[in-house]
Amino acid sequence: MSQSRFNSVFITQRLSLLRTLQRMVRNPSTAEDLLQETYLRVNRAIGERRIEHLEPFVFQTARNLALDYLRSRRVHERTMVEDVPLDVLQGIAASASTPEEAAHAERLLARLTVSLGQLTARQQRIFMLSRLHGSSYVEIAEELEVSASTVQKELKLIMAICVGVAQRMEEYS
């Protein structure tokens, strides 16, 4: 498949691809980013192997990228809010916090850092993959060669430690 054929197909289908992506992700800027990533991925694939049906391949690549984005966003939103009690979320210092609130937030962060530093290497890796990278239980399990159930249990323990640190801080405040 020639580069010029791909460029022609992409330019012809660009608007349709963009609309499809916008419907899926409901964000014009993200849809544009995914469209660019689609171009790059398909362009790379053309260089690596022969593609029989280019148009469906382009649309499927775009669709897969959008689904990956949505899945990642859903995991991120779930892991950033669901595992933390509302009172803890509300106790986080706002950007316009008082010096006392900022100092409290710094102490909390320092204590959380110490607590997380006492976790095993595997637990630290699970925490980082889940909370910082947005990886799913299954993805973490595959990477660490453990069961998804093990990842879930470890993460529940880690989050209990974090919540416990926050609660103890509140009791002494």
pLDDT tens string 12-71: 999 999 999 999 999 999 999 999 999 999 999 998 888 888 899 999 999 999 999 998
The predicted structure's pLDDT at residue 58: 93
What domains lie within the chain, and their CATH numbers?
3-77 (1.10.1740.10), 83-171 (1.10.10.10)
Q: Percent helix, strand and coil across the chain, each rounded to 5?
A: 80, 0, 20
Give the residue-averaged pLDDT of 162-172. 77
Calpha distance 1→46 (Å, rounded):
7
> Do residues 49 and 70 make contact, with C-beta atoms less than 8 angstroms apart?
no
- Structure pTM? 0.47
Calpha distance 170→138 (Å, rounded):
34
